[in-house]
């Protein structure tokens, strides 16, 4: 996926790109694919950016020996014959606020230079908050669940989850750190009751609101929509409910009302916190990270002693609470969600699906500032992730007309456009158009 998304830019700059794979014994590994993918995208982006047209870029992968039977060690190398760094700068490259003084790089902005100042207090705050949550019992679980949703628009919920899933804040069991690591390693080796204190930060807390609460909210959103919008809202809500209920992908639903009715999103976040707390207090032991029915059956129903029955017992009232609160608020405020203005005009009704997606991709590219403004196009399960040269050229109004549920700008050169489950087709279409 990384190579295919970078190929249009590689072709544009006529770079010679080579992949070298050496001594790979284990091709299937478990890890945070999204984070690894982001690292590779950043490295590839820099290699392309700083390598002159017609230059050489090599991506090498090699498995290294290590002393652990269940862990893999892999070396990834991205080499290029770009502008490089002077020997003088290499000696100080890891010093804070260091940057090569070169006329060829001055046009590339250096936000990273101030990050040590910005990130240190943020990091201290996050660590302190994690310690507070860990030591506050059931109330700490409530805080965790609330923040896990509330931080969603910023992407910082990943940081919070990582703290508990992979560090001692999530617990330590027989030398293994992090609630997710502990659960996955010991779920079939120790009595399930031994894992109760670790699963309280995992998928069990999400299931009542993902499988029941948000579908109730979706029904209210549909029923309160104006008549002329109902058909489009219905299609959007059905897709969102399916994603949330089956696999725990909630962004299509959450971003549909997050900016239109922030009060409802705060309510939703608090209800998420209560859900996490109730699952913990009631002794539910359902692990893994998903909040949909697949994880519910695999890690709950099929696991003796998981107390999975509390999830629907709590979830059914959640559906009614979400439905009535959303319907009351939307009716009182006379609000309805935005839907894309994609009425078919002229002969567009006779276009094939591929042609429609190609037309949509062209509009998306225009919204991203045009062909020349796009560096790399990637996607996760619900977001189109794009590196751009100039954020000021991005047209949010155009992107919203393509069916976007929301737009997030984590940095001055990276934009995320939320499309929900259809993002894979949109991303493929965008990459296909960029190749022309």
Taking 50 as the threshold, does the pLDDT of residue 343 lie above it?
Answer: no
Query: pTM score > 0.85 for this model?
Result: no
Cα gap 148→179, rounded to integer Å: 15
Tell me the per-residue pLDDT of 355-378, one tens digit each, with 9 for 90 and over. 777 788 888 888 888 888 888 888
**What is each CA distance from 132 to 143, 169, 173, 183, 415, in whole angstroms?**
9, 10, 20, 22, 32
Q: Residue 230: its pLDDT value, please?
A: 85
- Distance, in Å, from the CA atom of 315 to the CA atom of 215, rounded to the nearest integer, reads 11
Task: Identify the pLDDT of residue 126.
Answer: 65
pLDDT for residue 344: 43
pLDDT of residue 268: 95
pLDDT at residue 339 is higher than 80: no
Q: What pLDDT does residue 425 have?
A: 82
Q: Residue 345 has what pLDDT?
A: 44
Query: CA 400: distance to chain centroid?
Result: 19
Q: Reply yes or no on whether 380 is catalytic.
A: yes
Most confident of 303-312, 336-345, 413-422: 303-312
* 148 pLDDT higher than 70: yes
336 pLDDT higher than 50: yes
The pLDDT of residue 326 is 94
CA atoms of 69 and 58, how far apart (whole Å): 30
More confident residue, 89 or 195: 195
Average pLDDT over residues 10-17: 76
**In the predicted model, is pLDDT for residue 119 greater than 60?**
no
Please identify which residue in the block is written with the tokens 């209210």: 220
Q: Which of 30, 73, 179, 380 is catalytic?
A: 380
- Distance (Å, rounded) from C-alpha 254 to C-alpha 249? 10
Q: Does 58 score more than 50 pLDDT? A: yes
């Amino acid at each position: 996926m990384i190579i295919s998304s970078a190929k249009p830019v590689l072709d544009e700059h006529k770079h010679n790109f080579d992949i070298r794979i050496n001594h790979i014994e284990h091709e299937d590994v478990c890890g945070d694919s999204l984070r690894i993918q982001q690292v590779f995208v950043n490295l590839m982006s820099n290699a392309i950016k700083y390598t002159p047209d017609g230059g050489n870029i090599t991506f090498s992968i090699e498995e290294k020996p290590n002393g652990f039977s269940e862990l893999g060690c892999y070396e990834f190398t991205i080499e290029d014959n770009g502008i490089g760094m002077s020997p003088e700068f290499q000696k100080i490259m890891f010093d804070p606020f260091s940057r090569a003084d070169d006329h060829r790089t001055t046009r590339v902005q250096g936000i990273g230079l101030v990050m040590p100042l910005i990130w240190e207090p943020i990091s201290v705050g996050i660590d302190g908050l994690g310690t507070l949550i860990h030591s506050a019992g059931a109330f700490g679980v409530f805080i965790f669940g609330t923040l896990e949703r509330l931080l969603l628009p910023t992407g910082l919920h990943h940081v919070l989850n990582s703290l508990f899933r992979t560090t001692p804040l999530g617990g330590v069991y027989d030398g293994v750190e992090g609630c997710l690591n502990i659960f996955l390693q010991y779920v079939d080796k120790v009595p399930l009751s031994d894992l109760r204190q670790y699963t309280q930060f995992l998928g069990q807390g999400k299931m009542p609101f993902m499988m029941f609460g948000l579908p109730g909210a979706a029904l209210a959103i549909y029923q309160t929509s104006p008549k002329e919008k109902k058909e489009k809202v219905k299609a959007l809500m059905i897709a969102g409910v399916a994603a949330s209920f089956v696999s725990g992908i909630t962004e299509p639903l959450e971003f549909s009302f997050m900016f239109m009715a922030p009060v409802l999103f705060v309510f939703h976040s608090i209800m998420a916190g209560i859900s996490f707390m109730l699952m913990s207090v009631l002794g539910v032991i359902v692990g893994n990270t998903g909040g949909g029915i697949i994880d519910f059956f695999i890690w709950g129903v099929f696991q003796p002693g998981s107390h999975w029955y509390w999830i629907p017992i709590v979830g059914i009232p959640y559906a009614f609470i979400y439905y009535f609160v959303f319907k009351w608020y939307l009716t009182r405020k006379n609000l309805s969600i935005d839907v894309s203005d994609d009425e078919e005009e002229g002969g567009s009704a006779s276009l094939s699906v591929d042609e429609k997606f190609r037309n949509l991709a062209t509009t998306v590219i225009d919204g991203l500032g045009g062909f020349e403004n796009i560096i790399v196009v990637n996607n996760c399960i619900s977001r189109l992730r794009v590196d751009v040269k100039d954020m000021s050229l991005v047209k949010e109004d155009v992107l919203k007309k393509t069916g976007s549920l929301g737009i997030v700008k984590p940095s001055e050169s990276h934009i995320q456009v939320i499309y929900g489950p259809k993002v894979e087709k949109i991303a493929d279409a965008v990459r296909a158009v960029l190749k022309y």
